[in-house]
Amino acid sequence: MKNIRLLLTIPAFLAFGCESQLDLSPVTNLTNATYYKNADDARAALGACYNAIGNLDPNIDITTTDDAIPFLTGDANRPLLWRYNLTPANSLIGAYVPAYRGINRSNTVIDRLPGIAMDEALKKRYVAEAKFLRALHYFNLVRYYGDVPLVTAETASLDGLEIARSPVADVYALIEADLKEAESVLPKSYSAAETGRATQGAAKGILAKVYLTRAGTTPGSPYWAQAAAKAKEVVDLGVYDLYANFADAFALSARGGRENIFEVQYITDVRGHGIGRNFGVRQALIYPSGGAGIARVSASLFNAYTAADKRKAVTFLTSYVYNNVTTNLSVTDPDPTKAVSFQKLWDKTAKTSGGEGTSIPILRFADVLLMQAEALNEANNGPTPEAYAALNRVRTRAGLTPLAGLSAAQFREAVWLERRLELACENSRRFDLVRTNRLVEAVKAENSFNRNATIQPFHNLLPIPQTDMDANPKLVQNPGY
């Protein structure tokens, strides 16, 4: 992903200045007149689309579910979010604006590139990449907020910015159309210099997740078979595989590796993230500037792993040594400096705060296998040999005994548990609980540290942030908020 990383910035025309020239055109005219003229401009514009994926903070995923407890001092919005004393003014629900920023950048590429004189096949691929990224943003939006404004053209002026919300079905129609075009155009893989771009497998894998989400809990839904078929297409590409060791999927050496179908890539201490430190042990000096300790691991999640599960030691930090002193960590000790923390995405080589270079997964091959297993079970009213093979492939890598002889209900529960254990801290838990209608039950069951969550069914959707409601009078808030 070398070339992508170099271009993951807003194109320079948006920021430069030149005081020595007095006859400059206005910036808007400059943009229209001098950019989007050649293949280099197209590539840079697409780089800005990748940049808009941004740092994928798992905070919403883990603290609105049963996977983590925010430290109850500091930012008051954290415990309010965790306890579901949730209002549109909460600053931690703001996935809305960044998503639309990314959508607008994708729309710009989709609208502008047809007019550029460049290699036609490359142009078509760039547009397909932009459509994949647009679909990804809309998929997150529709899962978080439900009905959302559907914007499919570049925002080129301040006119027409007030747009009403479109029905969920219409949003999904665009998502599916974009992903189908992407899978028909994008290559299976790239050269080493291009690794990290959206691929055919990424489009198919996200489409499988779209179908799985749309199936919900509906018996006999046609989306089950569609999800199973699309997941199988990813498997049959022959491009992806599990690493033999679970830890290897998150190693610095795994960037662009065989298990990571789509990921946000970083460079240690150059262009990094701070997820490991942010969700690390509070005040622990094993992190640059000390651990921030934003949230601790819940006993519910920690105890769901058996002793034989190799993923447990990779996912959690349970003790550490500093200055020859060992500190043991706990899921029950109220002292935040003694709390078990997430470490799966921590780059231990980073020397700067926010300089971690581990990739942030968006879609791993293990996720596809588990989607295939779940969808086959539901489509066939019970697990097929292929469903068992997919599920047990993930379990075996984790050091667990293969499953057999389960009813449809038992197999369903087994897959749901496996997804929780395999994908912890990867922005998956909330989406899984919502699509399977288990969010309320799961949150109420995880009541440690006096959570006493006031969660209700309407909390399956987040509120649209108040700042966005204020900016767009045509928006109508989600019920309950």
333 is a domain residue = yes
Q: Which pLDDT value is given to residue 57?
A: 82
Q: Which two tokens stand for residue 460?
A: 């399956």
> Per residue in 260-277, pLDDT tens?
999 999 999 999 999 999
**How many Å apart are CA 91 and CA 263, to the nearest integer?**
26
* DSSP per-residue string spanning 144-211: HHSSB----S---SSTT---PPBPHHHHHHHHHHHHHHHHHHS-S---GGGTTS--HHHHHHHHHHHH
Residues in the chain: 481
Q: In the predicted model, is pLDDT for residue 4 greater than 70?
A: no
168 is a domain residue = no
Whether the Cβ atoms of residue 1 and residue 255 lie closer than 8 Å to each other: yes
Q: In the predicted model, is pLDDT for residue 8 greater than 60?
A: no
Whether the Cβ atoms of residue 42 and residue 126 lie closer than 8 Å to each other: yes
Q: Which pLDDT value is given to residue 153?
A: 93
Residue 166 dihedral angles phi and psi, to the nearest 5°: -100, 150
316 is a domain residue = yes
401 is a domain residue = no
Q: In the predicted model, is pLDDT for residue 5 greater than 70?
A: no
Query: What percent of the chain stands above pLDDT 70?
Result: 92
249 is a domain residue = no
Task: For residue 309, count other CB atoms closer than 10 A to its CB.
Answer: 18
Of 151, 154, 170, 146, the closest CA to residue 162 belongs to: 151
Q: Average pLDDT for residues 321-342, to the nearest whole number?
A: 97
Q: Which pLDDT value is given to residue 6?
A: 28
What confidence tier does 18 reach under pLDDT thresholds 50, 70, 90? very low
Displacement of CA 34 from its chain's centroid (Å):
35
Token pair 């129609």 is found at 173
325 is a domain residue = yes
The more confident residue out of 447 and 160 is 447
Nearest 5°: the CA angle 88, 89, 92 is: 90
Q: In the predicted model, is pLDDT for residue 7 greater than 60?
A: no
CA dihedral of residues 334, 446, 383, 240 (deg, nearest 10)? -50
Task: For residue 256, count other CB atoms closer than 10 A to its CB.
Answer: 18
Q: Average pLDDT for residues 360-388, to the nearest whole number?
A: 98
Q: Which pLDDT value is given to residue 468?
A: 94
What confidence tier does 372 reach under pLDDT thresholds 50, 70, 90? very high
User: What's the chain's average pLDDT?
Assistant: 91
The number of distinct structural domains making up the chain is 1
Sheet strands (E) in 301-456 = 316-317, 319-322, 325-328, 341-342, 360-364
Nearest 5°: the CA angle 383, 390, 305 is: 95
Q: Which two tokens stand for residue 324?
A: 């020859």
Whether the Cβ atoms of residue 286 and residue 322 lie closer than 8 Å to each other: yes
> Per residue in 48-75, pLDDT tens?
999 999 767 899 999 999 999 998 877 8
Q: In the predicted model, is pLDDT for residue 10 greater than 60?
A: no
What confidence tier does 375 reach under pLDDT thresholds 50, 70, 90? very high
Whether the Cβ atoms of residue 455 and residue 84 lie closer than 8 Å to each other: yes
* DSSP per-residue string spanning 431-479: HHHHHTT-HHHHHHH--GGG------GGGGSPPPPHHHHHH-TT--PPT
Q: Which pLDDT value is given to residue 250?
A: 97
242 is a domain residue = no
Token pair 């996200």 is found at 206
Structural domain that includes position 319:
275-358
**How many Å apart are CA 111 and CA 420, to the nearest integer?**
40
Q: In the predicted model, is pLDDT for residue 17 greater than 70?
A: no
Whether the Cβ atoms of residue 142 and residue 172 lie closer than 8 Å to each other: yes
Q: Average pLDDT for residues 146-154, to the nearest whole number?
A: 96
Q: Which pLDDT value is given to residue 75?
A: 83
Q: Which pLDDT value is given to residue 55?
A: 64
Q: Which pLDDT value is given to residue 36?
A: 87
Report helix, strand or coil for 214. Answer: helix
239 is a domain residue = no
Query: What percent of the chain stands above pLDDT 90?
Result: 88
What confidence tier does 156 reach under pLDDT thresholds 50, 70, 90? confident
Q: In the predicted model, is pLDDT for residue 27 greater than 80?
A: no
